[in-house]
Structure 1
Amino acid sequence: MKANERLLEMFIHLTKNHELTKKELTDMYGVSSSSIQRDIQALKLVLGQFIDCEDKEIILQPSKGVYRLNRDLLAKIGLGNLSLLEDHKLLAILKVIISSRAFTEKELGDLLEVLTPDDFVYKNLLKNEVTFYKGVPSQSIFDKLELILRAISEQRMISFSYTKYFKTVQFTKMVEMIFFSDMYFYIATANHTSEDDIHVEKLNKFRINNMEHIKLLDKGKTAPYHQRFQPIDLTHRTGSFAFFGKPIEVMIDFYYDPIYVLDRFPNHRIVSQRTENGETVTRLLLETNDGYGLKMWLLMQGKQVKVIRPQYLKKAIQEELHQVLKLYDD
């Protein structure tokens, strides 16, 4: 094997392994330890040309005769990927990906094959979840994502059919953003403060897995920057439920540990706390979005929540609960 071939192969081995010893390398290539040392110095010299940090080494030596890539610097020169993370960090990311159920079984398998190196020590901890994994989409999400991302980058409109509540409607829309929330990838076709209704014709966000017959059209008109969809603002205002609507402040009394509300709605303020029947009741002011999605979330809390204001929302919840009780009338 030529020296330059050996250098490339050594670099590949270093990216796939956390550490390599000088003895492993001498046995692998049948060369002297001084040759391996020269090879390591050559790799440092070449890789170092892409790094601004003169005081940091791209190849570390945690102990004598042991070599390891500086993964932080590797990422800075554009050669980083998830498989280069420390195993416990990679496990955390893979857990999130699997738990999202956002991909088909095949798509998840393809992702894991790329993201998990052969020496990933926690592979067995994922085995059960992968074996019994059931993805939400029935068709490839990646094919649709690729087409929609092209529409966004080229500022082109798209047409598609969309089914909701057993009704299929044809749409022509300008896509502002792709975002992920609660098992689904969505597109936003308007600012998140716009109308979002149970009526399919009035939708401004769409689950990508429910979109069919997507076609690229001509260029469309983009909204001014201050009117564009802001996914992080939506997350702060609605948690994982991503309901659109006009900005609103809602005051509630929460009859359980408030952490379940505080974590979901970062834009909150604790107004007061009191004790009722030996239990702590927390009064909270939430900055959120109005609309049917807000009512859905409030109703999901059952007896743990009471709406204080606005009055019209309180009345809407009361009317909804009366309708629920009617379902149980014999």
Structure 2
Amino acid sequence: MVASTGDTGHALAGNQAMMEGAVLPGNSTVAFRKQPVPQPGHGQVLLRMKASSICGSDIRAIYREHLGKGEEAALDIIAGHEPSGQVARLGPGVKRLKVGDRVAVYHISGCNACEDCRMGYMISCTTKEHRAGHGWQRDGGHAEFMLADEPTCILLPDELSYVDGALCACGFGTAWEILNRMKVGGGDRMLVTGLGPVGLATAMLARALGASKVIGTDISEARRELALKLELVDVALPADDSALSQIKQLTNGRGCEAAIDCSGVASARLLALRGTRQWGRCGFIGEGNDIHINVSPDLIHPQITIYGAWVTSLAHMEQLLEQLARWKLHPEKIVTHRFTLKETGEAYRLAAEGQCGKVVVVLD
């Protein structure tokens, strides 16, 4: 297909059209820079950004301080690895997409040759020089436009909004991956430790998959109240020394058939494991601290199976979007705050406080 010269707005007019984007210099700050609107290369599309949500990984590893080395979390990269938008221009060789298409974006590109890439798990591409994440090693969604590789763009079902799409690659995608890997369904009582955005996503999808009861825990009263208000959990417990006994009381002394830690906090991971019933399944998706367990009483004797998941695959993300449309379920439900691009600094400040639901930069 020949590259299109058509566009979806006046900002693309002329070869020197400029755009604004937000970068994360570290030290809990946000800066802005202007740069030319990029031109799509072979197999790429230029997206007009519509929504770009903030992930806890952005807060932990870039906003507060740059934890990566060299190309990891580069200082001058436009932030945002949870983007969705509308195709504004096609590069040469684009075969599937057309100008005007609404898309969500799988936020990692890889070598497309290693085993993980061939399975659609570009998140764990083994060829480091080819692995590039939006907002980390390549420009992300906190800008008026963003370049994306055509294979990483998934058409948004008409029933889903741009904000729905932005939430699906990382947060909801990770929750979807582990819930399916653990085969959560109607016979399961579900424990979710950590009721931040990923925990809320996990609870929402667990309910959709048929979990008979969802119990959530968090140290934040505001987040417990939000989970109850959104009707994503049946019970929301403070993550304190009494949490385990209360979980046992709610499950006839047995614990939950399935438990997932979404916080990455060592005490919450241990609570998830010890709140899992005998022969149950426990999953970890929250990045963070180590955990010390007494292997025999905590794991071997109760014969618990442990799962880990790190984002989802391209194919599973597409499956998730289709299923959300079928269920008439909207990830947008967990969004508590929306900001314009110029308000990105306030968006990050609020998200970093850890007391709210999902925070989204909306560009439409």
> Scaled by the length of structure 1, what TM-score is found?
0.29
Give the structure with the larger helix fraction: 1
Q: Which has the higher contact order (CA 8 A, sep 6+)?
A: 2
Normalising by structure 2, report the TM-score. 0.27
Larger-Rg structure:
1
